[in-house]
Structure 1
Amino acid sequence: MAFKTVYDSAFYRIEVDVEANMLRSMWLRPADEAEIKAGGTKLYEALCDTGIERAVSNAERLGALNAASKEWMSTVFFELLSRTRLKKLARVLPDTLFHRIALESVLTRAEALGMTSFMVKNFLTQEEALSWLRMQLILPQPGVPPSIFPD
């Protein structure tokens, strides 16, 4: 894969591989509310600009989220992502249980509010996340069970 950096700051990086139809983003350190909003908005813009359908978001270093950040992510952020061509979002969550639960609760709330029009799955490693993104569900012919094949 040939990823090209489209956004890079002290706290967040976004890379795209248009040919592979893949985007990867990574939080580089704990971020405050303004940085989370800026990074999330840049991710939305990159998805709009490229039309990419598969993305991995690595939040291993994101740290704690305050209530306002969680609210923004579960409502505005996921609604923005639903306006793009995104079909699959793999999230790499932190090792710290408290931080992982906070990010899981953001997704649970977004799904309950109907803010996700794409598949989302959580992972503990980047490799697992990328592997899932490369898989495609092949729709069966009538009477044949569905199968999963790599691209």
Structure 2
Amino acid sequence: MFEFENNYLLLWVDETIHLMYSDWQRPVTSQEYREGNTLLIEQLREKDIQNWIADSSKLGDISQEDERWTLQELIPTIANTNLLKLARIAGEDTGSHAKFEQFVRRAEPISIGNLQVRQFITYKEAADWLGEIPV
């Protein structure tokens, strides 16, 4: 089990079930967003992660510049890992849900590959979708 925590990101990886869980603890700066995502990508690559629960309910909006970086750098990198399912927890913020759905549609032409992406309100819903994951 790998665990990491700082003042804006909580992360754990259970290699036995190929699962990564990340939780943005608060809205972040552009530098924190990119550093945090760089760490997440390192774990995806190093630990053969197939399922990822990403809790973004406290992240807030990211800048347009960070959106572009995500589309140009982050999404193609994620598509070249063994990740099969990404379950995003957005909480009850329907605006965040809609914005993320638009973002995923913009990312599809970049090639998300076989990656399935869905949004949920709770951890339990996300875990149920991923499969037999202890809650």
Question: Shorter-chain TM-score category?
Answer: 0.7 to 0.9
Matches within 5 A, 1:1-80: 4-5=2-3, 7-80=4-77
Q: Distance between the aligned counterparts of 1:4 and 1:41, measured in 2?
A: 16
Tell me the C-alpha RMSD between the 2 structures.
1.7
Match of 1:91 among 88, 91, 94: 88
What's the % identity of the aligned pairs? 25
Q: Indicate conservation of the 8 Å contact 1:15/1:25, yes or no.
A: yes
Specify whether residues 126 and 29 from structure 1 end up closer, same or farther in structure 2 by C-alpha distance, changes over 3 A only.
same
Report how many aligned residue pairs link the two structures: 132
The aligned amino acid for 2:13 is: V
Gaps of 5+ in 1: 136-151
- TM-aligned CA deviation for residue 102 of structure 1: 2.6
| In 2: Cα distance, 1:49 partner to 1:42 partner | 11
Identify unmatched segments of 5+ residues in structure 2.
Answer: none
| Larger RCO: 1 or 2 (CA < 8 Å, sep 6+) | 2
Q: TM-score, normalised by structure 2?
A: 0.88
Give the letter aligned to residue 83 of structure 2.
Answer: L
Describe the shift of the 1:24–1:90 C-alpha distance in structure 2 as closer, same or farther (beyond 3 A).
Answer: same
Distance 2:23 2:9 in 1: 6
SS in 2 for 1:89: strand
> Which residue type is aligned with residue 106 of structure 1?
F
The Cα offsets for residues 34-64 of structure 1, whole Å up to 9 and x where unpaired, read as 1111111111100111011111100000012
Matches for 1:127-142 after TM superposition, within 5 Å: 127-134=124-131
The one-letter amino acid of 2:116's match is: M
**Post-superposition offset of 1:113:** 2.7
Q: Conserved in 1, the CA contact under 8 Å of 2:76 and 2:110?
A: no
Q: Equivalent residue for 1:111?
A: 108
TM-score if structure 1 supplies the norm length? 0.79
| Aligned amino acid, residue 100 of structure 2 | L
Structure 1 segments (4+ residues) deviating >4 Å: none
